[in-house]
Amino acid sequence: MARARRLELAEALALGPGWRHACYALLHAPDPGILFGRLPLRYAILMQMRFDGRLGFPGGFVDSQDSSLEDGLNRGLLELLGEAAAAFRVERPDYRSSHAGSRPRVVAHFYAKSLTLEQLLAVEASATGAKDHGLEVLGLVRVPLYPA
């Protein structure tokens, strides 16, 4: 497998038509909860169990009918996470990085979106009704972020 190289967004968008773009989002929310009465949770992070048994962030390929990377990502989030994903939009300010691999010619774009805990819980609740649940996505995992 070829190593991925980091690209600036403008450089990634200028790649030719032989390249495909995929976008993924880290969805996170501050979590004021306490585990076992002593461990502050700090943040909840959503990941998904993929069809191939791997954990990953929700997202996928941008299609030709999508007008932007973010439109493709938001469409994908709706398909993967259900109707609760319509309550927010991942936008350009949420963009974090891009990496390109040469085989296959794919650029992966990574975004991080801060939600309220209520929004994150609603996404969890609606995910089983999503179009791709049970096919491409086998479930969600809430990953806690504990203090160091």
CATH number at residue 137: 3.90.79.10
pLDDT tens readout for residues 26-78: 999 999 999 899 989 899 999 999 999 999 999 999 998 999 999 999 999 99
Degrees, nearest 5: CA angle 142-147-148: 120
- The pTM score is 0.91
CB neighbours (10 Å) of residue 133? 19
Domain count, the chain: 1
Q: Is the pLDDT of residue 10 over 60?
A: yes
Q: Which whole number is the average pLDDT over 113-121? A: 97
Report which DSSP code applies to 129: G
Closest to 140 (Cα-Cα) out of 126, 91, 119 = 126
| Euclidean distance between CA atoms 14 and 32, whole angstroms | 42
43-68 b/e (C-beta count within 10 Å ≥ 16 → b): bbbbbbebeeeeeebbbbebeeebee
| Euclidean distance between CA atoms 53 and 138, whole angstroms | 8
CB neighbours (10 Å) of residue 22? 17
Instruction: Show the domain range for 49.
Output: 5-145
